[in-house]
Chain A
Amino acid sequence: MERSLSPAARRRGVARFAQVWARAIVGASYPATGLVDVEERLLGLTERLVDALFGEPFAAEPAAAVGAVVAEHTFAAADALAATIRVCGARLLAELRLDADDELAGRVAALQGALAHGYTRALRERILAGQDSIHRAAHLATDARFRTIFNGAAIGIVLADAAGRIVDANDAFLRMLGVAPHRVHGRALHEFAHPEDAAGLRDAHAAQRLTGPAHLRTELRFAGPAGATVRAELTTSCLRRADGRGEVQLSMIVDVTERHRLQSELRRQARHDPLTGLPNRTVLAERVTELMSAEPDRRLGLCFIDLDGFKAVNDSLGHDVGDRLLVAVAGRLTGALAAGQLLVRMGGDEFVILLADTAGIDDVTATATAVLAALAEPVRVGDQALSIGASMGLVERPATDGDLADLLRAADITLYQAKDAGRGRWEVFDAERNARQVTRHTLSTMLPGAVEQDQFTVVYQPIVTLGEQSGVGGVGGVGGVMVGVEALVRWRHPRFGLLSPEAFIGLAEETGQIVLLGRRVLELACRQAARWRELCPDGVGAPYVSVNLTARQTREADLVDQVARILDETGLPARLLQLELTESALMSAAGEPMRALDDLAAMGVRIAIDDFGTGYSNLAYLRRLPVHTLKLAGPFVDGFGSAHQHDPDGEKIVRMLVELAHSLRLTVTAEGVETAAQAERLRQVDCDSAQGYLFAPPLPPGEITRRLRATPVGAPPAAPSTVSTLPAPRVKGAATSRFVS
């Protein structure tokens, strides 16, 4: 197509159109720049449109590119497109000063279409790009927010992948362990755990990824900065894929090191003296209790130390110097300790050294010597040299003798004896001396209150069989079956400590208190025996309890009623109660046997003669009395000695006594058995049962319970052979109770 349009006319026309077009666009939209710039850019675009308009052959496509450029440079796009289409239709040919023939009008329309197409396509791209970028911005902003939370969190957060490899860890975690981020990525959390906790954590995490649980909560240690240990509470949550396998493990780690430190510090403070840092009374009590509840043959020693002249230092030089002196002394004493000894500050200027598993008092005196030597040199406090001495009370005994309070009381009493004797020295606890010091007078005034206040406790010494097989499996033939126990009373005196019966039974007998006391003991013993019986299925193997009766008790008018009532109340079968009487108690003042015994025997209660052989041993009355058991006194047993100090005559007497007893259908229990040789010979002379330290000391009831539980259920109480030779029902329980062990 040929049109007569001079280059100059075309240039002017293009410029005019660009101006009109620019005004239309700028007025309709928000352009990036002002009119001037827009006009300039549209000049070029108009050239391209006019080129296309006159193109041969005609092609509208170039207008699409023009539309794209317009879209790129305008903002309120829809308005700009409308303005452009309108201006093209109305003004393009007019500004070129051309008449709109059909063909030209058709070409303009085609150009408009292409322009709109190009514009729209470019606009669409721009909108999509804009949406992409704002979504991305929102995503990044959210991400940044979570990262801020992640890193700002006070707790450690670690994210691991499906293989347990760490993909992200926050600042708190890195700080907690003192590691750099690059050392964490790709490794597993358990690699940072304390070596002892690592395997456990690895397995738990692996298991969680496979099967669960969704949340795992544990406390463990991590290897912290510079070799420190970090205690942490760990919660790991596992996010799962559709197939159920763990996809992400999110662990939260809270550092609880400080809390632990505080707790253990508090625990330490509760157990330590703040001034000297030494363990306190609480620790001593724990250790002693530990020793007491261990095997019965353990022994312990205690050295109770009180500084001489400390009060003078405190008063004259002040508390500060006094305190520093105590710290220095604590240091000296610590230096004097042998392995395994425990030094405790009791308070004030009192210290205690506890020795475990002592062989005898010599161990304790050696410690006391070391203490005196440690304090021989004056102690320097600041620029003062202070001479300080110590007085000590020493105790050494089986661990099971009494409790901590008794032990301390014994040591304390002894300490004061040492002080009285002139300070700077020690005294060894002497039970007899102690008992003597406890005057009859004070005791007699206290006895009634003691019965009321229930200051009496009962311990039990096992009575074991000596039959053929009784020793099998036991150490040196010691392991006979426990058939009974002798109840032995103790007075837990608030001031004098644990008093043994020698100290008060005679007194109680004289004052008549024995009646109440005896009833109390009988009650306690029967109740306890009934409990033991319940432990034994059908009562098989239940031990009898042997309770001592004094002469005065046997003469009580209502003795039989009392026994009957107690058996009834406690539910103990009469056959499991044995009453022990001395020979003298068996007889009335008139020399007649006590009538009450017949009644008791008729009820089924067993009667034993205690200390048989120490009195007149009037064998004649044995036949007339309802006696079931003879208890052989210590002196007979002593004669059995060892192989070296064999006493053939003594052995003959015992053999005869046993034979006599058996012929009268009595059983024989030997008391005070201390060596395996004694036990063996007693067995050879056919003595039925025995008691003594060889088998067991008097034990607290709990210990008897423990032994009963440890014995196979239904173990026969005696060897079958022995049973068959004896018609008397001796197996069922002889009762031997004495107030004196």
Chain B
Amino acid sequence: MDELPGWAAGVDVDRPSAARMYDYALGGSHNFAADREATQAVIAAFPDGPLVARSNRLFLHRAVRFLAAEAGITQFLDLGSGVPTVGNVHEVAQGVNPQARVVYVDIDPVAVVHSRMLLADNPLATVLHADIREPASILGSSEVTGLLDLSRPTAVLMVTVLHFISDGDDPAGIIGAFRAATVPGSYLAVSHVTADERAEQVHGAGKVYESTPTGVTPRSRAAIADLLAGYDLVEPGLVYLPSWRPDEKHGGIDPLADDPSRAVALAAVGRR
């Protein structure tokens, strides 16, 4: 990516955006024709796409619930938060603890504005338009410093976002920067696309993303595990999405539960 400021990249409703494609895959209506067309192309290459999206969203749901209810986390920094839909992080977290605070961060201007509209009345949640490749500008922003107290344990969420960061943009360095900014007892939740299995389908789907502002870089289990260095992974460790602490009662029924590797993404939650 070049050095253009975010606003210069512009808002182009005629260009598919990863955020809105994800919304469409989940069944949402917050998307434009270009997003739907691109999503259909993804589905053509990879018919499980919508199910993976749902599976991922259920993992996010369970992870936040785990962090709020079991790990006692009250502060969330959601990086690559996307277009708000149902079961958003602040809804899940505040459902467990009404005092939970959430800062959403996304690079997609429409997703950010939409989030802002939705959160207008919620004093404990806010949204920041930023690029996670610039951790310092996020950590130093008034949104983060105003709402979160980083001297207390904080959960950093990087759910279905790290594969939008190419190796050249140093994902390990980015994670390291957020890790360094948080105190021990903080958590990191990650889900990440992998092509370890069904490589052809995953790469086929990845091609479609080349027309979006964010390309896709699937990584191997080992590479993803390396990115999590410095975190102690909670049970069950780094697993396919449906296998991470399934919880039908609170988290819904994962459509890929019977064959977790169809989810083509690995998930983990680690403690610093």
- The residues of A with any CB-CB pair to B shorter than 8 Å are 23, 26-27, 29-36, 75-79, 126-131, 133-134, 136-138, 140-142, 144-145, 148-149
User: Would A130 and B29 be within 8 Å (CB), given that A34-B251, A141-B112 are in contact?
Assistant: yes
Contact B255 A134 (CB under 8 A): no
B91: CB under 8 A from chain A?
Answer: yes
7 A-B pairs with C-beta separation under 8 A? A34-B61, A34-B250, A76-B54, A137-B113, A138-B13, A145-B11, A149-B7
B229: CB under 8 A from chain A?
Answer: no
Q: In the assembled complex, which residues on chain A have CB atoms less than 8 Å from the CB atom of B236?
A: none
- The residues of B with any CB-CB pair to A shorter than 8 Å are 7, 10-11, 13, 20, 26-32, 50, 54, 57-58, 61, 83, 85-87, 91, 95, 109-114, 117, 247-253, 255
Q: In the assembled complex, which residues on chain A have CB atoms less than 8 Å from the CB atom of B10?
A: 142, 145
Q: In the assembled complex, which residues on chain A have CB atoms less than 8 Å from the CB atom of B87?
A: 30-33
Q: In the assembled complex, which residues on chain A have CB atoms less than 8 Å from the CB atom of B30?
A: 130-131, 133-134, 137
Q: In the assembled complex, which residues on chain B have CB atoms less than 8 Å from the CB atom of A130?
A: 28-30
Q: In the assembled complex, which residues on chain B have CB atoms less than 8 Å from the CB atom of A126?
A: 29
Minimum CB–CB distance for A224 against chain B, Å: 29
Contact A35 B28 (CB under 8 A): no
A76-B250 Cα distance, complex, nearest whole Å: 18
User: Would A141 and B29 be within 8 Å (CB), given that A31-B86, A33-B87, A75-B85 are in contact?
Assistant: no
Q: In the assembled complex, which residues on chain A have CB atoms less than 8 Å from the CB atom of B58?
A: 30
A78-B50 Cα distance, complex, nearest whole Å: 13
A35-B83 Cα distance, complex, nearest whole Å: 24
A-B contacts besides A35-B250, A130-B29, A134-B83, 15 pairs, CB < 8 Å: A23-B253, A26-B248, A27-B253, A27-B255, A30-B26, A30-B54, A31-B86, A33-B87, A34-B247, A34-B252, A78-B27, A131-B30, A137-B114, A138-B13, A138-B32
Q: In the assembled complex, which residues on chain A have CB atoms less than 8 Å from the CB atom of B247?
A: 34
Closest to A131 in B: B29
Contact B11 A138 (CB under 8 A): yes
Contact A75 B86 (CB under 8 A): yes
Minimum CB–CB distance for B70 against chain A, Å: 15
Minimum CB–CB distance for B108 against chain A, Å: 9
Contact A36 B250 (CB under 8 A): yes
Closest to B65 in A: A34
Contact B248 A141 (CB under 8 A): no
**Contact partner, A141, options B27, B85, B113, Cβ 8 Å:** B113
**Contact partner, B249, options A31, A34, A127, Cβ 8 Å:** A34
A78-B29 Cα distance, complex, nearest whole Å: 13
A31-B254 Cα distance, complex, nearest whole Å: 11
User: Would A134 and B11 be within 8 Å (CB), given that A31-B86, A144-B109 are in contact?
Assistant: no
Closest to A129 in B: B29
Contact A133 B114 (CB under 8 A): yes
Contact A29 B27 (CB under 8 A): yes
Q: In the assembled complex, which residues on chain A have CB atoms less than 8 Å from the CB atom of B32?
A: 134, 138
Minimum CB–CB distance for B160 against chain A, Å: 14
A706-B236 Cα distance, complex, nearest whole Å: 106
Minimum CB–CB distance for A131 against chain B, Å: 6
A27-B253 Cα distance, complex, nearest whole Å: 5
Contact A26 B252 (CB under 8 A): yes
User: Would A77 and B27 be within 8 Å (CB), given that A30-B252, A33-B87, A35-B253 are in contact?
Assistant: yes
Closest to B10 in A: A145
Q: In the assembled complex, which residues on chain B have CB atoms less than 8 Å from the CB atom of A149?
A: 7
Contact A75 B27 (CB under 8 A): yes
A262-B110 Cα distance, complex, nearest whole Å: 46
Contact A138 B110 (CB under 8 A): yes
Q: In the assembled complex, which residues on chain B have CB atoms less than 8 Å from the CB atom of A36?
A: 249-250
Q: In the assembled complex, which residues on chain B have CB atoms less than 8 Å from the CB atom of A142?
A: 10-11
Q: In the assembled complex, which residues on chain A have CB atoms less than 8 Å from the CB atom of B109?
A: 141, 144-145
Q: In the assembled complex, which residues on chain A have CB atoms less than 8 Å from the CB atom of B95?
A: 33
Contact A134 B250 (CB under 8 A): no
Contact B26 A75 (CB under 8 A): yes
Contact A76 B252 (CB under 8 A): no
A141-B54 Cα distance, complex, nearest whole Å: 27
